[in-house]
Amino acid sequence: MKQPPVVLAVRAAALLWVLLALVLLVRDGLDEPAAALAFGLLVCLGELAHRGGEAAPLGAAGTLAYALLGHCGGETTAHGVSQVVVVSTAGAALGVLARRGRPDADRCARRVLVGGFAAVLFQPAYNSGVVDGLIGHGTLYALLLAVLLALTGLCEAVLGAALTRARTGHPYGPLLRDELRALRGIGSAVCATGVVMALAVGVVGLWALPVFCVPLLLTQLSFRRYGEVRDTYRQTIASLARATEIAGYTRPGHAHRVAALAAAVGRELGLSGNEVTVLEYAALMHDIGQLSLVDPVPAGATASLPADEQRRIALLGGAVVRRTGVPAEVAAVVERQADPYREQPLAARIVRTVNAYDDLSGECGGGLGGPLSALERLRLDTGREYQSEVVESLARVLRREDRALGVALSPPG
């Protein structure tokens, strides 16, 4: 699969940085081998405990702590940027090999660049004596580390949003906002632990590292369990969404097509990660109210029903959704998807528009028209049935993702 240029550039930059750091380390030699081995093993342990798709706080905190390490057991350290990059990369690589996993190239590149960025901010100034001369090792020193970690977190957010933007084409602003919000959760815990770990090692030595491993490993285990619960929750919602298909009320795959398109439109319009999740769940369950019908609507195309009937089905669907235990915001979107669009929240406007598009396009056969015809019909009804911004966002998503069966969707005239 061909990678976007930005992704290739980030990976190449990380690889070149590692190679350059390795050359410099071979030339200058390894400082404080015991500390290098201890932090390398810490990062390795973090990778061993990591599973794809979950947070990995131990390895990240170990990398940051080593990048910001100035003292070890009261003795001044002398390792520089190149040693930080090589040790953290070697530890991560050994961890991946030991668990026989497939390395995530993007995550590895981010780890190298972000860890190296933190080291560049701290190590040259510390090793040159600037930090000791201007700040010392009191409260201002701890404050300096906190500021450097804040800058490092910002670097990680900017880089992560850029990679996601390159892969998905979603607007950069909302992606950056989601990355920054993530820093307030596990990101802030990793940064705080990195600072405390560096300070503790500076005072009591390398024996501080095992003390910090236990809470971080427990945190990582908690995130793994949370991820498993979340996956089970999503699978339950997806199974409920298929009920209308199994009963013959909607076309096969309709709910999942609407959910995927609605999520893409939501990101295009700048919704946050949590808002997109609510939107996706509502889109998956938006037709559940059709189970109350005695006679199924042809092809499940509720967009062709009278407005009163659409609202009745939506309210019944919302009542069912409220009994499933999903967040109340999801039920509210399902209930209001058939309201006049000016009275709807944005998520309901998106579900209404995308559902109508899929009903009208008939992508899987049996529908009422083609993709291009469906989009033009939505445009003709903007201002009356659908919000124009949502329709045009849908059009941009369709053009970008080539969802219209190879048909070139012309921009609005």
CA 340 to chain CA centroid, Å, is: 33
> Which of 112-121, 167-176, 298-307 reaches the highest mean pLDDT?
112-121
For 360-382, write each residue's pLDDT tens digit.
Answer: 886 444 444 567 788 888 888 88
Closest alpha carbon to 245 in 293, 291, 279: 291
Cα separation values, 398 from 188, 232, 279, 391, Å? 37, 30, 18, 11
Q: Mapped to the 3 state alphabet, what secondary structure does 200-237 carry?
A: HHHHHCCCHHHHHHHHHHHHHHHHHHHHHHHHHHHHHH
Average pLDDT on 289-313 reads: 73
Cross-strand pairs, 71: 76
Confidence of residue 10 (pLDDT cuts 50, 70, 90): very high
Please tell me the distance from the alpha carbon of residue 194 to that of residue 335, in angstroms, as a whole number.
46
What is the pTM assigned to this prediction?
0.72
- What does the pLDDT average to over 200-220? 81
Give all strands (DSSP E) within 11-154, no chain letters.
71-72, 75-76
Least confident of 221-225, 270-274, 387-391: 221-225
Residues contacting residue 306 through CB under 8 Å, at least 6 positions apart: none
Residue closest to 115 by CA, chosen among 89, 94, 90, 76 = 89
Q: What is the pLDDT of residue 214?
A: 77
In 3D space, the residue among 348, 410, 333 whose CA is nearest the CA of residue 379 turns out to be 410
What number of other Cβ atoms are within 10 A of residue 342's Cβ? 8
pLDDT at 113: 93
CA gap 405, 144 in Å, rounded: 55
The Cα-based distances of 63 to 38, 353, 370 in angstroms read: 11, 46, 53
Residue type, 152: T
DSSP H/E element including 125: helix 105-127
**Per-residue pLDDT averaged across 305-317, rounded?**
81
- CA gap 162, 253 in Å, rounded: 32
CA-CA distances (angstroms) from residue 7 to 14, 54, 117, 161? 11, 21, 18, 11
- Lowest-confidence region among 49-63, 283-297, 327-341: 49-63
Supply the pLDDT for residue 254.
Answer: 86
pLDDT of 20 higher than 90: yes
Give the domain ranges of the chain.
5-229, 242-401
**CA–CA dist 91, 63 (Å, integer):** 9
Q: What average pLDDT does the structure give for the chain?
A: 82
What are the C-alpha distances in Å from 387 to residues 186, 235, 255, 378, 394? 37, 31, 21, 9, 11
Q: Tell which residue, 197, 182, 162, 177, has the closest CA to residue 42.
A: 197
242-401 is classed CATH 1.10.3210.10: yes
